[in-house]
Amino acid sequence: MIATTMKILIVEDESKTGDYLKQGLSEAGFIVDLCRDGLDGLQLALSESYDLLILDVMLPGLDGWQLLQALRKAGKDIPVIFLTARDQVGDRVKGLELGADDYLIKPFSFAELLARVRTLLRRGKTTELSVLTAADLEMNILKRKVTRSGERIDLTAKEFILLELLLRRQGEVLPRSLIASQVWDMNFDSDTNVIEVAVRRLRAKVDEGFSPRLIRTVRGMGYVLDVPDAD
Summarize as ranges the residues that interact with Ca ion (CB under 5 A): 13, 56, 58
86 or 205: CB nearest Ca ion: 86
Does a cis peptide bond (omega within 30 degrees of 0) precede residue 212?
A: yes
Q: Do residues 32 and 25 touch, judged by C-beta distance below 8 A?
A: yes
Q: Pick between residue 91 and residue 164 the one whose CB is nearest to Ca ion.
A: 91
Residue number of the CB closest to Ca ion reads 58
Closest CA to 112 of 47, 24, 10, 31: 24
Residue 58 CB, shortest distance to Ca ion, in Å, is 4
Residue 138, helix vs strand vs coil:
strand
Separation of alpha carbons 65 and 57, rounded Å: 7
**Least distance in angstroms from the C-beta of 13 to Ca ion:** 5
Cβ 184 to Ca ion shortest distance, Å: 22
**56 or 101: CB nearest Ca ion:** 56
Closest CB to Ca ion among residues 19, 27: 19
> At its nearest, how many Å lie between Ca ion and the CB of residue 64?
8
One DSSP character per residue, 46-65 reads: HHS--SEEEEESS-SSS-HH
Can you name the residues that pair with 222 across neighbouring β-strands?
Answer: 175, 218
Q: Which is nearer to Ca ion, 16 or 73 (CB)?
A: 16
Residue 1 makes CB contacts below 8 A (sequence gap 6+) with none
Q: Shortest Cβ distance from residue 15 to Ca ion (Å)?
A: 10
Residue 225: which H helix or E strand, with range? strand 222-225
